[in-house]
């Protein structure tokens, strides 16, 4: 059973390379933000898998939740920082 977790963990680590390419080469800032969010989501899953492998899932879930919250707040902060106002000085607002 432990070998299956190792295989899944290594596979997930390899899958992280695809959004890492988008973060590094991404043509726009929002591509980079989406890539970073994807990497963080996969990292949360990796943390939980490590918790299962060490039979300490309770501790690792707390770490994963904290990491996910920090990632979410960081993405919001970066997106707000780079929000571009319209030429009339107002921030863009979506119409319903």
* 20 close to 39: Cβ distance less than 8 angstroms: yes
Residue 67: CB atoms within 10 A of its CB come to 14
* 83 close to 29: Cβ distance less than 8 angstroms: no
The whole-number pLDDT of residue 9 equals: 83
Q: Which residue has the higher pLDDT, 93 or 46?
A: 46
* 79 close to 33: Cβ distance less than 8 angstroms: yes
Q: Which residue has the higher pLDDT, 46 or 87?
A: 46
pLDDT tens for each residue of 22-71: 999 988 888 888 999 999 999 999 999 889 889 999 999 999 999 999 99
pTM for the model stands at 0.77
Is the Cα torsion angle 46, 47, 49, 53 positive or negative in sign?
positive
């Amino acid at each position: 059973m432990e070998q299956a977790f190792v295989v899944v963990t290594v596979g997930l680590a390899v899958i992280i390379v695809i959004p890492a390419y988008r973060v590094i080469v991404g043509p726009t800032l929002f591509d980079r933000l989406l890539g970073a969010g994807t990497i963080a989501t996969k990292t949360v899953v990796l943390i939980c898998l490590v918790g299962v492998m060490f039979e300490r899932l309770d501790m690792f879930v707390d770490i994963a939740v904290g990491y996910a919250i920090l990632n979410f707040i960081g993405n919001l902060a970066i997106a707000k920082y780079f929000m571009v106002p319209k030429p009339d000085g107002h921030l863009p607002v979506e119409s319903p």
